[in-house]
């Protein structure tokens, strides 16, 4: 019974000293941070597109994919800011299922957290070095954020974490925009309360220290759909949903009202091929409503080299081993379509 301590995990300082960033990467990230903050604040008319696989499980395939994104980014840089999804841990609470590279640097082997920390750090660094695009990752474990905070351009707090106090407090200390997803129940108030908490300063315990934060003015909402008590998915990207969120934002004292629409998960019912249609509907809503245009700053899209998903044992290059994703050809077309309609 109780905890069994297996081995000590290297501290963030140890990992960062072993795998540091260069001055060039530091400048790239600083410039990207300003671009993303300008979009969330409304100072820029560009849109954000946070796009990539459901989970980053293979370094070579992931870096290949991100390098493809970089070529598209160069062509649409006057209209879009593309942030690769490099999600390295997944909220799997049962015994089966892939928990991400943090837990399983080799998806077919037993968990190894030390190897996982090294693998995820090396993956992010390589992708950034080869593409020039700082990435997004999910803050599943708040205490682990400091292993990556010098390379990330965006952080997401998931639907199962958004009500957790530690996630809200940690988000208040981040220097990059943090997207707070609506909980699986779909409750907008919970999501907005999370944004409120993240936008304000706090004093709390973190990594063995008493810490103080100033608040994150770029914390914002992410609409990912909901699931009702019968297990049925309920989308929340429609015009009426967006107008309701606009109204709820106006009733609260929140800085930089902003929303990102997650086109997969419960919004698509995990039907990955529906994502382009959802994007088009939201773009139309932005066109017919000035309030929605000002609030909706971009999209989260699940995409990889090969469409769909596979079992871990199949070893198909560039195909998701978790949720099904849009394939590269359709993803590329969608990115250009978004750019044309901004």
pLDDT tens digits, 89-117: 887 666 667 889 999 999 888 889 999 99
Q: Which residues contact 67 (CB under 8 A, 6 or more apart)?
A: 130, 131
User: What is the per-residue pLDDT for 94?
Assistant: 61
CA 197, 262, 311, 57 torsion-angle sign: negative
171 band by pLDDT with thresholds 50, 70 and 90 = very high
124 band by pLDDT with thresholds 50, 70 and 90 = very high
Mean pLDDT for 240-249 is: 98
Which tokens in the block code for residue 289? 């409503």
68 SS3 class: helix
Mean pLDDT for 53-82 is: 97
Tell me the C-alpha distance between 136 and 157, whole Å.
11
Which tokens in the block code for residue 242? 């967006």
User: What is the per-residue pLDDT for 5?
Assistant: 85
Cα-flanking dihedrals φ and ψ of residue 333, to 5°?
Answer: -60, -40
Lowest mean pLDDT among 96-100, 163-167, 242-246: 96-100
Cα end-to-end distance, the chain, whole Å: 57
Q: Which residues contact 300 (CB under 8 A, 6 or more apart)?
A: 50, 51, 85, 156, 179, 222, 224, 260, 261, 262, 263, 264
Residue 64 pLDDT more than 80?
Answer: yes
User: What is the per-residue pLDDT for 89?
Assistant: 86
Mean pLDDT for 132-151 is: 96
Of the chain, the percentage scoring pLDDT greater than 90 comes to 92
Residue 339 pLDDT more than 80?
Answer: yes
Strands 203-206 and 209-212 come out as antiparallel
User: What is the per-residue pLDDT for 96?
Assistant: 67
Residue 4 pLDDT more than 90?
Answer: no
Lowest mean pLDDT among 24-28, 85-89, 94-98, 136-140: 94-98
Mean pLDDT for 20-40 is: 97
Of 158, 160, 173, 159, the residue nearest 207 (C-alpha): 173
Supply the DSSP string of 79-125, one letter for each residue: TEEEEEB--------SSSS---TTT-SSTTS---HHHHHHHHHHHHH
């Amino acid at each position: 019974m109780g905890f069994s301590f297996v081995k000590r995990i290297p501290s963030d300082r140890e990992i960062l000293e072993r795998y540091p960033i260069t001055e060039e990467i530091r400048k790239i990230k600083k410039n990207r941070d300003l671009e993303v903050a300008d979009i969330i604040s409304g100072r820029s008319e560009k849109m954000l597109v946070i796009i990539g696989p459901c989970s980053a499980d293979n370094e070579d395939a992931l870096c290949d994919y991100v390098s493809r994104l970089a070529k598209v980014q160069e062509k649409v840089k006057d209209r879009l800011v593309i942030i690769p999804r490099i999600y390295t841990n997944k909220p799997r609470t049962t015994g089966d299922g892939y928990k991400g590279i943090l837990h399983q640097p080799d998806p077919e082997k037993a968990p190894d957290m030390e190897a996982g920390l090294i693998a995820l750090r090396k993956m992010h660094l390589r992708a950034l070095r080869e593409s020039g695009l700082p990435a997004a990752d999910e803050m599943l474990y708040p205490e682990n954020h400091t292993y990556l905070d010098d390379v990330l351009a965006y952080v997401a707090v998931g639907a199962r974490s958004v009500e957790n106090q530690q996630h809200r407090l940690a988000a208040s200390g981040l220097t990059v925009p943090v997207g707070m997803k609506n909980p699986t129940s779909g409750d907008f108030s919970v999501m907005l309360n999370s944004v409120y908490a993240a936008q304000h300063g706090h004093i709390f315990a973190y990594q063995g220290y008493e810490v103080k934060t100033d608040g994150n003015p770029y914390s914002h909402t992410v609409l990912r759909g909901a699931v009702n008590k019968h297990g049925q998915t309920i989308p929340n990207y429609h015009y009426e949903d967006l107008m309701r969120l606009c109204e709820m934002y106006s009733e609260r004292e929140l800085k930089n009202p902003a929303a990102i629409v997650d086109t997969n998960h419960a919004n698509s019912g995990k039907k990955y091929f529906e994502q382009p249609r959802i994007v088009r509907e939201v773009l139309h809503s932005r066109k017919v409503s000035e309030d929605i245009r000002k609030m909706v700053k971009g999209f989260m899209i699940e995409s990889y080299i090969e469409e769909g998903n596979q079992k871990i044992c199949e070893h198909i290059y560039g195909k998701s081993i978790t949720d099904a994703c849009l394939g590269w050809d359709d993803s590329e077309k969608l990115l250009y379509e978004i750019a044309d309609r901004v």
